[in-house]
Structure 1
Amino acid sequence: MSTIVLDRVSRWYGNVVAVNDVSMTIAPGITGLLGPNGAGKSTLIAMMGGFLAPSTGTVALDGGAVWRNPAIYRAVGLVPEAEAMYDMITGWQFLLANARLHGLPDAPAAARRALETVDMVDASDRPIATYSKGMKQRVKMATALVHDPAVLLLDEPFNGMDPRQRLHLMDLLRRLASEGRTVLFSSHILEEVEQIADTIEVLVAGRHAASGDYRRIRRLMTERPHQYTVSSTDDRCLAAAIIAAGAADGVSVAGGSIAVQTSDFGRFTHALPRLAQESGVRLLEVDPADESLESVFAYLVAR
């Protein structure tokens, strides 16, 4: 069993800070690295895999430094987000080349096992140029598994996969984790992460925003203050009803709509239709004003 430890890791490019003072421990099991696009997830994974040096701080695998340590590649399998591949060769040739690069004693058998694992045997004699995005993702997964690593670092591995392929990969990751491996995968979709991750690490704008069980992270997101814009046939009447019922923390009427802030969005969303009906008011529009991933994660950073 292997563990990755990041200690106050930062990485910048000129004046741009991609990762800012991040400390976390990635233990055996499945860890989801969650954050909006541009949060620094790929940079962090590149540093964990030894492909990028931290500007400050350290990344260690089982106590040994990752940077400038080629020996770690015996234990690490990486699936990058980039789709750049050798399109002119077949999936089989690609896997066999990777097995030989790892110096495996029986490279053909290892390549075949990896293709079987990702359910790509039937398409293995086709040029990679003919593969769909989901198929390319599965071949990249096979190359990460060909040398039977203890650690898997997967950058957005579900991108481009159809529902059947996604379920297959989720089952595979669960099985690999049950064997004692350390699996980390990045995503910007919370629902994707919470289906399989034991632990979630949240990254926003290069900063470590939250860490722990996904249920706790989901609760933090759910219980944060929510803002809504409500339009109706009588905004002042409806606003008065919302205030009288105590269904929101703050209510204001301006510009032909009602601005509502509530820390209990479940109570508000259940009460709103009833209050409108009781007041003889027809709801025209109810829009969450701050439901983007960026705004949700920014709230976690500010805590």
Structure 2
Amino acid sequence: MSELRIDGVSRWYGNVVAVNNITMTIGPGVTGLLGPNGAGKSTLIHLMSGFLAPSTGSVTLDGAKIWHNPEVYRKIGLVPEREALYDAMSGWKFIEANAALHGLPEPREAARRALETVEMTEAASRPVGTYSKGMKQRIKMASALVHDPSVLLLDEPFNGMDPRQRLQLMDLIRKIGAEGRTVLFSSHILEEVEQVASHIEVVVSGRHAASGDFRKIRRLMTDRPHRYAIRSSDDRALAAALIADGSCSGVQLDPKNGLQVQTVHFGQFSRMVPRLAASAGIRLFEVAPADESLGSVFAYLIES
């Protein structure tokens, strides 16, 4: 069992700070690295896989620094977001070449096991350039698993996959985590992460925003203040009723855009508004969230 440790790590490029003073520990099992696009997820994975040196702080695997340490690299498998494949090679030859580069004594046998693991043996004789996006993701997974690493790092592994391929890969990731290996995969979609990961780390704008199991993170996201835009047959009367009810933390009447309402208990609010409007003889034309972009959700986490 292996443990990745990121301790006070920052990484910058000139005046651009990609990650800022992040500390986290990734242990055995499946961990989801969650954050919006541009949050610093890929930079963190590159730091953990030894492709980048931290500007400050340290990145270690079982106490050994990762940067410029080939012995540690042998324990790590990486599935990058970018495709770095040789389209003219067959899937079989590509995986076998990776096995040989790792110095495995029987590269062909190692390639066979890896291809079987990702269910790519039937297509292994075809050139990689003929593969679909989902098949290329699986062949990248095979190349990461061919040397039987104790740590597996995956950068947005579900991108471009159809629903069936996504479910297959989710099952494989769960299986690898259940074997006691340390698995980290990044995503900007909470639903993907909570279906696979037992633990979630959230990064926003290069900073560590939250850490815990997916229930805790989901609770943080859903219990934040929510804003709604409401249009009705009588916005002024509805605003007065909402204020009198006391279930909203803020109500603003905009003659052009209707009501802007802020509430924390969004489930309770969504059930209460129709009843309140009906009792006052008011027709509701629209009740819509005004701040449900992923960016606004993550921004709330970083401010909490």
TM range (shorter): over 0.9
Superposed, 1:30-41 pairs within 5 Å as: 30-41=30-41
Once the two structures are TM-superposed, the CA of residue 236 in structure 1 deviates from its matched residue by 0.7
The answer as to whether partners of 2:66 and 2:73 remain within 8 angstroms in 1 is no
**Paired residue for 2:254?**
254
**Paired residue for 1:226?**
226
Report the TM-score, using the length of structure 1 for normalisation: 0.98
Matched, 1:108 2:108: yes
Once the two structures are TM-superposed, the CA of residue 203 in structure 1 deviates from its matched residue by 0.2
Rounded to whole Å, the distance in 2 between the matches of 1:296 and 1:212 is 17
**Paired residue for 2:58?**
58
Superposed, 1:7-22 pairs within 5 Å as: 7-22=7-22
**Paired residue for 1:182?**
182
Q: Residue 88 of structure 2 aligns to a residue in which SS? A: coil
Once the two structures are TM-superposed, the CA of residue 277 in structure 1 deviates from its matched residue by 1.9
Once the two structures are TM-superposed, the CA of residue 287 in structure 1 deviates from its matched residue by 2.1
Bigger mean CA offset, 24-33 vs 80-89: 80-89
Rounded to whole Å, the distance in 2 between the matches of 1:255 and 1:133 is 49
Once the two structures are TM-superposed, the CA of residue 161 in structure 1 deviates from its matched residue by 1.2
**Paired residue for 2:128?**
128
Once the two structures are TM-superposed, the CA of residue 280 in structure 1 deviates from its matched residue by 2.0
Once the two structures are TM-superposed, the CA of residue 232 in structure 1 deviates from its matched residue by 1.4
Superposed, 1:131-210 pairs within 5 Å as: 131-210=131-210
Report the AA paired with residue 277 of structure 2.
Answer: A
**Paired residue for 2:45?**
45
Aligned residues: 303
Report the TM-score, using the length of structure 2 for normalisation: 0.98
Unaligned runs of 5+ in 2: none
Once the two structures are TM-superposed, the CA of residue 200 in structure 1 deviates from its matched residue by 0.4
Once the two structures are TM-superposed, the CA of residue 175 in structure 1 deviates from its matched residue by 1.3
Once the two structures are TM-superposed, the CA of residue 123 in structure 1 deviates from its matched residue by 1.0
Rounded to whole Å, the distance in 2 between the matches of 1:81 and 1:255 is 47
Bigger mean CA offset, 218-227 vs 167-176: 167-176
Unaligned runs of 5+ in 1: none
Once the two structures are TM-superposed, the CA of residue 196 in structure 1 deviates from its matched residue by 1.4
Rounded to whole Å, the distance in 2 between the matches of 1:8 and 1:293 is 26
Once the two structures are TM-superposed, the CA of residue 141 in structure 1 deviates from its matched residue by 0.4
**Paired residue for 2:294?**
293
Once the two structures are TM-superposed, the CA of residue 278 in structure 1 deviates from its matched residue by 2.0
**Paired residue for 2:272?**
271
Once the two structures are TM-superposed, the CA of residue 294 in structure 1 deviates from its matched residue by 1.1
**Paired residue for 2:80?**
80
Q: Give the aligned CA root-mean-square deviation in angstroms.
A: 1.0
Once the two structures are TM-superposed, the CA of residue 23 in structure 1 deviates from its matched residue by 0.2
Once the two structures are TM-superposed, the CA of residue 272 in structure 1 deviates from its matched residue by 1.1
Rounded to whole Å, the distance in 2 between the matches of 1:240 and 1:82 is 54
Q: Residue 195 of structure 1 aligns to a residue in which SS? A: helix
Q: Residue 156 of structure 2 aligns to a residue in which SS? A: coil
Identity of aligned residues (%): 68
1:13-59: CA deviations, max 9, x gaps? 11110000000000001100000000000000000000001111100
1:137-169: CA deviations, max 9, x gaps? 010000000011000000001111111111111
